Amino acid sequence: MINDVVPQKEGKWVVLVEAETCPAYEDHRWQLVATRPVPEGGRAAADELARTIAMEYVPKEVSVGPEDTPARKVFRAVDGSWLVEVTGKDDKRILCRITLAELVHEQTYLRTRETLADRWRRLLG
């Protein structure tokens, strides 16, 4: 069950960067390529960082010369996210999504201490 209750304490704000992984296909396939934490300043600081990333981020799939600046179209969606089209010297276009997100839960991996005998009992019933 999903609990959409607003947390009592504000979580950590991050900016998520997604990029197309298969730009040749008509169904856009996306991959999370970066998560940039916002150390302080809350949502306003996250929004400013997202704007900066939208204006400057160059996906690794875009080919540019060492001193070149790729072509870029930057769109801000109604929800505050950004859609960026970046084109390199080979005219290959890559779409990126830049999104604000609040990290409201984080859990580290917990390894169970199951013995080999316990595992066999569980598997064999």
φ, ψ dihedrals at 42, nearest 5°: 65, -150
Dihedral sign for Cα 47, 51, 52, 58, please: positive
- Is residue 70 within 8 Å of residue 38, measured between CB atoms? no
Name the residue ranges covered by the structural domains of the chain: 12-124
Does residue 32 carry a pLDDT above 80? yes
Q: Residues 38-87: pLDDT tens digits?
A: 988 899 999 999 999 999 999 988 888 888 899 999 999 999 999 999 99
76-113 pLDDT, tens per residue?
999 999 999 999 988 888 899 999 999 988 888 777 77
Predicted local confidence at residue 106, as pLDDT: 85
